[in-house]
Amino acid sequence: MFLHGRPETGTIAMDHDQNLFVQVEMQALLDNLSAELVARHPVQFLMHLDHVRQKAAQHHLSALHDLSCAFETALQSVIEKGGATTVVRYYLEAMRATLDCREINGSMTEALMANVALRLGGQP
């Protein structure tokens, strides 16, 4: 299942036949991001994350794009202090969840991001 944006309605709809390839591509990009990679090669991890963000924007995957942006911001503060692997796990879980949803709108995107923030002990 793949999500694509409908700007006119503010929702995201499924198009199983046409976009299956894109869903597989996005899953593969997310699979290349791991907690181990951020620990060993943080710059390479951030480059992969930027690629995911760009592809998400290209395919109008707004929830995935928004999470990628928030993820990058969160990582920049924890890479130096430590604890990046926890941040990676929670964000990747939420990002994968966006590809499994049937329909998602702006408030659902906010709920996903708030869920990640709460898991990390912060405020949404």
Exposed/middle/buried for residue 82 (C-beta within 10 Å: 0-12, 13-18, 19+): exposed
- The answer as to whether 16 is a domain residue is yes
In the predicted model, is pLDDT for residue 65 greater than 80? yes
User: 91-111: per-residue pLDDT in tens?
Assistant: 998 899 888 755 556 677 677
Residue 3: predicted pLDDT: 47
Closest CA relative to residue 1, chosen from 97, 111, 110, 115: 97
- The answer as to whether 7 is a domain residue is yes
- The answer as to whether 77 is a domain residue is yes
Domain range for 109: 3-119
Torsion on CA atoms 80, 81, 83, 85, rounded to nearest 10: 0
Domain count, the chain: 1
50 pLDDT tier (thresholds 50, 70, 90)? very high
Whole-structure pTM value: 0.69
- The answer as to whether 31 is a domain residue is yes
Higher pLDDT, 42 or 6: 42
- The answer as to whether 124 is a domain residue is no
- The answer as to whether 60 is a domain residue is yes
The helix or strand, by DSSP H or E, that contains position 5, with its residue range, turns out to be: strand 3-6
